[in-house]
Amino acid sequence: MGDGTSVSVGRPSNGYIRNAKKLPDSGDGFRTQAVWKERNNRYGTDELLDLITGVGRRMSMRFTDVKLVVADLSGNGGGESRKWHRSHQSGRDVDLVYYMRAPDGASFEADAMRVFGIDGKAKDGSGYSVDVPRTWQLVKNLVTAPEARVQWVFMYEPIAQMLLAHAVATGEAEALIARARKAMKQPGDSAPHNDHMHVRIYCSDRDRMFGCADIGPMELYAEYQAEAEQVGKLPPVIASLFEGAAQIGSSTMLGIASSGEPDRAAPPEAVRRLIIAAPLRFWRR
């Protein structure tokens, strides 16, 4: 557009980006390894880059030893990524590598994607495993992020189940767990995503006017809209407090205290069964 802001046009699998923005190779709390630098799928919308940098910054405030590893976004115009992806064409998709632990249990910054089994351990026999607590914190930050509205966190269902079980065990708020359950899905028309998670954001309201098209359920979008409307109805001073809390990765609307710590009242057993044991629904990417 004339003002230099990005525009996502079309669908993730059949679209393009105007005025795409390039993600730096590293930043506060995130890093891209050489294999993905060479592909140069480093481009996305303003909202997607804001999400990555914002989440990376908040994760670095909680974990200082390793950074979030960011893999592919889209090509400069969007379509260039088709060599590696069916989607990632409209600047609203990013691949994030699971947080990992080394065989001795120490945190490990991933140098590559590793394929994990249903037990969360790498299938290559290396002894590496998914760092469940940190990966849950990543998902939690994504679905409560103020920078963009996350529609999907595509991932391997056994890993999603581990994250949800951890969330319940640590007393996370019911509404937060329910939102994460809606976002986390294993795709039914592609690889199982047992080596990385694929995050997709909804079209921004502005981009929708210029031809951006969401596919799949809009339930989470409606939730985000409702929260924004509730904050908008508050007196300006109070609303600013909610917005400030969102900037540090908390969400009072979802039952998380301003300190960033969850409400420790664990969900009742009926809610556990509904959220954790819910039948897996597959969605096309």
Through-space distance between the first and last CA atoms of the chain, rounded to whole angstroms: 27
Question: Which three-class secondary structure state does DSSP give residue 168?
Answer: helix
DSSP 8-state code for residue 210: T
Identify whether 60 is part of a domain.
yes
In whole angstroms, give the CA distance from residue 215 to residue 12.
Answer: 8
Residue 19 sits at the vertex; the CA angle it makes with 285 and 208, to the nearest 5 degrees, is: 50
Identify whether 136 is part of a domain.
yes
Q: Domain holding 92: CATH number?
A: 3.30.1380.10
Identify whether 199 is part of a domain.
yes
Q: Which amino acid is at 225?
A: Q
Identify whether 284 is part of a domain.
no
> Which residues touch 117 (CB under 8 Å, ≥6 apart)?
123, 158, 194
Based on the number of CB atoms within 10 Å of its own CB, is 107 exposed (0-12), middle (13-18) or buried (19 or more)? middle
Identify whether 195 is part of a domain.
yes
The count of structural domains within the chain is 1
Identify whether 41 is part of a domain.
yes
Look at residues 230, 273, 221, 278 and name the one whose alpha carbon lies nearest to residue 251. Answer: 230
Predicted model pTM: 0.83
Look at residues 96, 109, 81, 256 and name the one whose alpha carbon lies nearest to residue 179. Answer: 256
Identify whether 283 is part of a domain.
no
* pLDDT by position in tens, the chain (length 285): 557 899 999 999 889 999 999 999 999 999 999 888 888 899 999 999 999 999 999 999 999 999 999 999 998 887 655 565 567 889 999 999 999 999 999 999 988 889 999 999 999 999 999 999 999 999 999 999 999 999 999 999 999 999 999 999 999 999 999 999 999 999 877 778 999 999 999 999 999 999 999 999 999 999 988 888 876 676 765 655 555 555 544 444 465 443 344 444 444 444 444 444 444 444 444
Q: Which domain holds residue 63?
A: 7-276
Identify whether 63 is part of a domain.
yes
